[in-house]
Amino acid sequence: MGNASCFLVGCIDQASVGVVEKWGRFEKLAEPGLNFFNPCAGQYLAGVLSTRINSLDVKIETKTKDNVFVQIVSSIQYRVIKQNADDAYYELQNPEEQIQAYVFDVVRAQVPRMTLDQLFEQKDEVAKSVLEELEKVMREYGYSIEHILMVDIIPDPSVRRAMNEINAAQRLQLASVYKGEADKILQVKKAEAEAEAKYLGGVGVARQRQAITDGLRENILNFSHKVEGATAKDVMDLILITQYFDTIKDLGNSSKNTTVFIPHGPGHIRDIGDQIRNGMMEGKAGTSFNVDDN
């Protein structure tokens, strides 16, 4: 009597692993490629698991230490450990729910210890804590946690508006400080420029007066030497009259001047000259008197 055997052929895709059972019990793992199964001996392919990396997005709502409610969006990347595929197949019916539960537990234990600012600054530390806890637990079930990313931290809308207003106020304050410093520099530079202009103007006036004095002295000497019988008084009267008419001429040539004339005439020039000479003589007499007293 000959022996009869019956085989079934199964093909398992790359990046996958098959779970083979015999009479309802786990027997072995089937590698990718062509596999033969003997149904007469109770052997069959119970299931196929992918060993590719899967991504699970989890949104968690929790509260920070400063009583701000936030939503944290995290992305968990996990995969089946090929050598422990039987644990992944038999131990967990829904691995995503299990991962999500552990993420909720760890995040809600870590975040309430931080303020909102600390959460933004230390989100990588939170992700690291979640990764360590998940890796320790899920490896027992045949899963490996590859990466955990804290994709986004979303505070309550009112808190976001308040944070934006605080940021805007700080920037406006900083801008005001810079503007004040700039205005201060402008004022200092303006004052320095005005002081320099006044100094140069004073130097110019002093030089102008010196030039006028030198010119008057030279004119008096020349006039006295060239015109016989002319005294210094006559020369001063002539110069004063000349300056008087030059001033009248300048006032007449300028259309923008507003000038109020009081009763006057060329004869008043003599009076002005007398007043100047009397003042000089009185000053000279006072000086001589003080010297004699000493």
**Residues 273-287: pLDDT tens digits?**
566 666 656 655 655
- Residues 33, 100, single domain; the answer is no
Tens digits of residue pLDDT in 23-54 = 888 888 988 888 888 888 888 888 899 999 99
pTM to 2 decimal places: 0.53
Domain encompassing residue 69: 54-155
Same domain, yes or no: 63 and 17: no
Whether 229 has a pLDDT exceeding 50, the answer reads yes
Asked whether residue 138 is domain-assigned, the answer is: yes
**Residue where a domain stops, chosen among 108, 125, 155:** 155
The pLDDT tens digits of the residues spanning 72-126 come to 999 999 999 989 888 888 888 888 888 898 888 888 888 889 888 888 888 888 8
* Residue 164 within a domain: no
Contact 45, 10 (CB under 8 A): yes
**Do 82 and 141 sit in the same domain of this protein?**
yes
Q: Which residues on neighbouring strands pair with residue 58, listed in sequence order?
A: 74
Least confident stretch, 71-85, 121-135, 154-168, 192-206? 154-168
Tally of structural domains, the chain: 2
Domain match, 150 and 104 both: yes
Same domain, 121 and 142: yes
pLDDT, one tens digit per residue, over 161-180 is: 777 777 777 777 888 888 88
Which of 122, 139, 155 terminates a domain? The answer is 155
pLDDT at 109: 87
Q: Indicate if 33 and 76 belong to the same structural domain.
A: no
Boundary (domain end) residue, out of 137, 155, 173: 155
Residue 16 lies in a domain: yes
Q: What is the CATH number of the domain that holds 72?
A: 3.30.479.30
